[in-house]
Structure 1
Amino acid sequence: MDIDELLDLEHQGWKSLCDGTGGDFYGSIMTADGVMVLAHGQVFDRTAVVASLNDAPPWRTYEITDERLVRIGDRDAALVYRGRAYRDDEEPAFVALMSSVYTRAGDGWKLALYQQTPVPQPG
């Protein structure tokens, strides 16, 4: 298990959120019972994630920093990082601490849990 593998999946996910294909990407990578715990206080299952991303405006750009791998077992790991994303020039950046828990499925990885904790921005 290598941090670069999971970091590559996170970048693929963020790129899909930027190019408008997030619903397809997360629909295929999430486990059947996977969930996302989002900054606005909602918990979405895979079906709700796909539906919400199909209607969401794309992100313009994003950054991933301070990433670290937390090994959970032989077939499971969490990637924890600070994410910063921008929709347009007028909106402030969305900044959150993010955790993605992956499980090995066959020869690839599946996303079982994604969680966001917003980081308050100075005033």
Structure 2
Amino acid sequence: MDADELLDLEHQGWQSLCDGTGADFYGSVMTEDGVMVLAHGEVFDRRAVVASLDAAPPWRTYEITDERLIELGPRDAILVYTGRAYRDGDEPAFVALMSSVYTRQGDAWRLALYQQTPVPGAA
């Protein structure tokens, strides 16, 4: 299993959230039954993720640190990291522990579950 490949995929996702193409990216990379468990306490299925990202303001920049890969088998893995993202203006950074569960479908990695846990006072 190539940790760099999954980390690169995670960077592609964050970059899409910065350049306004997040709906397209996550619409194509999520599994049909994939979900996102978001910091505001809601669970979005793939359709809701795409709809919400169409209307979401872009992030200005982001950082991924403390990443680690948990291999569940030859076709499944979890990427866990600290994410820090910034929007324009004086808005504080969004800092959360993040987990992305990937599964290999055919020759592509697909996102089955993404989860955010905010880090209080870490802006």
CA distance 1:122–1:37, shift in 2 (3 Å) = closer
Alignment match, 2:105: 105
Aligned pairs (5 A) from 1:14-93 = 14-93=14-93
Q: Give the AA of the match of 1:34.
A: G
Q: Secondary structure at the match of 1:72?
A: strand
Q: Give the AA of the match of 1:106.
A: G
Deviations 1:68-112 (A, max 9, x none): 000111210000000000011310000000000000011110000
1:115 is aligned to 2:86 = no
Once superposed, which parts of structure 1, at least 4 consecutive aligned residues long, lie more than 2 Å away?
A: none
Give, in angstroms, the shift of residue 122 of structure 1: 5.5
> 2:95, 2:122 within 8 Å by CA — same for their partners in 1?
no
The two structures have a TM-score, normalised by structure 1, of 0.98
* Unmatched 5+ stretches in structure 2: none
1:5 is aligned to 2:5 = yes
CA distance 1:44–1:122, shift in 2 (3 Å) = closer
Deviations 1:35-60 (A, max 9, x none): 00000000000000000000000000
* Unmatched 5+ stretches in structure 1: none
What is the count of residue pairs matched by the alignment?
A: 123
Q: Secondary structure at the match of 2:35?
A: strand
